[in-house]
Amino acid sequence: MNVLNGLNEQLEIVQKKLNDLLAAKRAMFPRFFFLSNEDLLEIIGQAMNPIAINKHIKKIYEGINSIKTDSSSQSKGVKMHVITKVVAEDGEELPVQEISSSHSLELNTNVESWMKNLTEASH
């Protein structure tokens, strides 16, 4: 019974730390408040995977249905994706170079950073 109580306490500690992490991510990028914890965890865990991001992008950005990327560059053996276009619900595509000349739109593990850049580039 003591083992079970100990495991339960450890689980509570992990859950609190996870909630703290999600709260910190939401504080850094408020659009994450539109996502459930499960969706936000998937985005954080799959930050460099455009397919996983596209499942949630329309929940974060009004008017953007998906993003298109170019994956020709590599860094340390890892395929890097750079956002090349944003796609509206009606299928209209807007090349990123037309909306962003000074923002890095490379998908990386710091998801709130590149999403902030996409937000700034979209305005």
Q: Domains of the chain: which residue ranges?
A: 2-122
| Single-letter amino acid code for the residue at 81 | H
CA distance 111 to 109: 5
Query: What's the mean pLDDT when you consider all of the chain?
Result: 88
Q: What is the per-residue pLDDT for 12?
A: 97
Q: What is the per-residue pLDDT for 32?
A: 96
pLDDT tens profile 67-76: 999 887 666 7
pLDDT tens profile 81-108: 889 899 999 999 988 865 555 556 888 8
Top CATH class of 2-122 equals alpha beta
- pLDDT of 52 strictly over 80: yes
**Cut 0.85: pTM above it:** no
Show Cβ contacts of residue 87 under 8 Å, excluding neighbours closer than 6 positions: 64, 65, 66, 67, 68, 93, 94
